[in-house]
Chains A and B, each alone.
Chain A
Amino acid sequence: MNPPLLSVERLQIDAEGARGAAPTPILRGVSFVVQPGETVGVLGASGSGKTSLALSLLGLLPPALTARGRVLFEGHELLAASRGARRALRGRRLSIVFQEPLTALNPRMRVGVQVAEMACAHGERDARRAMQGAVDMLGRVGLAEAEVRAQRYPHELSGGERQRVLLAMALLLDPALLIADEPTSALDVTVQAQVLQLLHAQQRERGMALLLVSHDLGVIATSCERTIVLHDGLVVEDVPTHQFLSAPEHAQARALVDAVRPAVRSA
């Protein structure tokens, strides 16, 4: 078997204790792998460390949080890599779609420029070509009238459109792994479904791996091949999704499935 795209080994994240108090563990030794092109769901209640996990993979943890362990991505040891090396990977090989489409975009910058900036951050010198690439990508993620919309500011777009802008940004440079941190939680249900469909269409088209982080079992059940359940800073379940839905082993996972069973069955 080929080496995995991403391999997380005994990842621990600690929050700095206040005034000499012992640090609070957020993740207590998490291990899992993601194969190229695979879709993996990370499921957990709020506060289970899902978002910290996603941020630590990108090296964007807030200063008060420290990560230990090993994270291998395309042969790079991420936690040991230099800041420059990690920055070169961010956005180009490893990108993320954030939760809040309103606050995740700079209110003072046209959305097209914000997308084009992704290319400029990774060596594109020609601003016009970067902008053209951004407009193309906005069109491919289904933003109507991309040429015109690219000149708009974030507040002039709807929540779903903003999420598409963020997705265009994340997909622009054809990353090998896309992390989606609650990509649909801030959207209403119909838009949610559209965005998820779009995510999967783009994923199939590019053969990209997707790590979908969510507290929403429905989202993960309908879209992920494999499900990882985080509880209390540990991985309590790591199985194919159908197996997880029919026979969850861990008590917490069982509780999650039972809570939404009718909805999942009908899905």
Chain B
Amino acid sequence: MKILYFSWVRQKVGVAEEDITPPPDLRDVTALIGWLKSRGEGYEAAFENPKLIRVAVDQTHAEFDAPIAGAQEIAFFPPVTGG
């Protein structure tokens, strides 16, 4: 599964993207965030306040209870500021 990070989430995690194999028992985005946070200080800092984080599953905006099984690409980022 490809994980992408943007904006300050990318800066805190320290990489723009990575391929990971999460444990199969992770059901949704919330569980994935919990697992990612255990991977190091950068992740811990990036996901410290989940309210500031938005997620897209396979390039579509999603909620934290969205299932991650079968997803090819999951992206984490702050609220968007284009326009």
A and B part of one assembly: no
